[in-house]
Structure 1
Amino acid sequence: MKLFTKKRVVLFLLFIFPLICFLLLSTGQNNFTKLPIVTERVLDVSTIDETNTVKLYDKVSIICFLGNDIDKNKSRLFNLNQKIYKEFIDNKKFQIIGIYPLGKEVEANNVKKQLGAFTDMKKWNFIAASDENILKLYNSFETNEELINLGSAKAFLVDKGVNLRGRLDEKEVLFGYDMNSVAELKDKLKDDVNVLYYEYYAAFKERNKNKAERKI
């Protein structure tokens, strides 16, 4: 009898191998690389949201600056919606926030309607703010680029502690993720959001373990 039949190999790849990987990850202690904090304690959008309905604290947030020419950013938002939003819409406390200047409500609503034709918009938030407040929020990120016409092609990842997350290497700091690049969204931003959620999972598991040990 053949030990490795085609059917057994397929079953191993589909079910057993992923399970082994999960068990290795779930039993490890700090055996993964945490996503770097590139700027600590950025400004919470609650300080510029006049509706007082959106906040960054205790949320995993992706922030976009739509600028005065919202139509120019439309294709970028569609990339973000398809490659990131739909991947994490069911994750707890996940949201995407689009910041746009006061007076651009019609253009913002048009984009919302177009995005809504393809997806559930329950975790998309659009916030209108003054030019001054948009700059104040963006400047708190302390990036290496300036806004152009109050807009940016980058999406920014903010954790539950209101810290800007990104990547660090010897050559540069990645503060934001290029929404024009589907590859960057898929290969970097998607991976980094997953790493961030795993951080919270590992921390939750560690807290429960410590509680259990104290009860013994």
Structure 2
Amino acid sequence: MKKFFVIIVLFALPLVAYLFFASGVNNFAKLPVLNSQLSSLEEFNSYGDSIMSFEDNITILGFPGKDPLEYETNAYHLAEKIYKPYYEFKDLYFVFVVPEGNEEEIEALKKDLSGVINLEKWKFVTGKEERVQELFNSLETNLELNDKLATPNVFIIDKEARLRGREGDEDEEALFGYDTGSIAVLNNEMKDDVKVILAEYRLALKKYNKNRKK
């Protein structure tokens, strides 16, 4: 019996562990696509910058609402936990959609944020209220904007203008957006998912460059 037990420990358990981790890599190699029918970002006015687009960019999309300064704490959370570690990734942008007429509040928020982060990849766009709501609705999530057209949640949009997140199962609902009011969500779910999508595109780029050299 002892010999049999030793054989199991030395051979069977490592095999089971390998199969477990191998299946995990396959399941989480890519962040699931939850929606591929998003409205265009080009119809918004890029506040102080060139026209923004979902195409060819990985976008962290947010909706601070009619009073962007009320979003300041959430913005700080996102800046510290997600923006600072990853903003230097070439094609990653943070884009915040604000209803027209709130430019002074945008400036105030930018001034406050500039004290803690480099705003190079942190962008604002403005548009009519109905366009803001239309863009949000096109995400087709289980979330809603409040009466100020704001939500604490941000969304991961890939280079093909598709919403990425976590598919639901029997125990949990699908994760469409990430609550910037929760440090735990940013530290765990969002940080992990941003790592996954950045790794996905890094791998695709390496394969492309390798194929070009052949």
After TM superposition, the score normalised by the length of structure 2 is 0.80
Structure 1: give runs of 5+ residues left out of the alignment: 1-24
Asked whether the equivalents of residues 40 and 162 of structure 1 are also in contact (C-alpha less than 8 Å), the reply is yes
Moved more, 109-118 or 51-60: 51-60
Q: Using a 3 Å threshold, how does the CA distance of structure 1 residues 179 and 50 change in structure 2: closer, same or farther?
A: closer
Q: Using a 3 Å threshold, how does the CA distance of structure 1 residues 31 and 147 change in structure 2: closer, same or farther?
A: closer
Asked whether the equivalents of residues 77 and 179 of structure 1 are also in contact (C-alpha less than 8 Å), the reply is yes
| % identical equivalent positions | 35
How far has the Cα of 1:208 moved from its partner? 4.0
SS at match of 1:169: coil
Give the match for residue 9 of structure 1.
Answer: none
Partner Cα separation in structure 2 for residue 59 and residue 76 of structure 1: 23
Q: Using a 3 Å threshold, how does the CA distance of structure 1 residues 32 and 165 change in structure 2: closer, same or farther?
A: closer
Asked whether the equivalents of residues 56 and 158 of structure 1 are also in contact (C-alpha less than 8 Å), the reply is yes
SS at match of 2:123: strand
Give the match for residue 33 of structure 1.
Answer: 29
Given the alignment, which residue of 140, 146, 170 partners 1:142? 140
How far has the Cα of 1:93 moved from its partner? 1.1
Give the match for residue 166 of structure 1.
Answer: 165
SS at match of 1:168: coil
Partner Cα separation in structure 1 for residue 187 and residue 51 of structure 2: 29
Q: Using a 3 Å threshold, how does the CA distance of structure 1 residues 62 and 125 change in structure 2: closer, same or farther?
A: same
Q: How does 1:39-188 map to 2 (within 5 A)?
A: 39-49=35-45, 53-148=51-146, 149-170=148-169, 171-188=172-189
Partner Cα separation in structure 2 for residue 130 and residue 139 of structure 1: 14
Q: How does 1:191-206 map to 2 (within 5 A)?
A: 191-206=192-207
Partner Cα separation in structure 1 for residue 107 and residue 46 of structure 2: 17
Partner Cα separation in structure 2 for residue 207 and residue 53 of structure 1: 27
How far has the Cα of 1:207 moved from its partner? 3.2
SS at match of 1:113: helix
Partner Cα separation in structure 1 for residue 117 and residue 43 of structure 2: 28
Size of the aligned set, in residue pairs, is: 186
How far has the Cα of 1:189 moved from its partner? 1.1
Partner Cα separation in structure 2 for residue 160 and residue 105 of structure 1: 28
SS at match of 1:156: strand
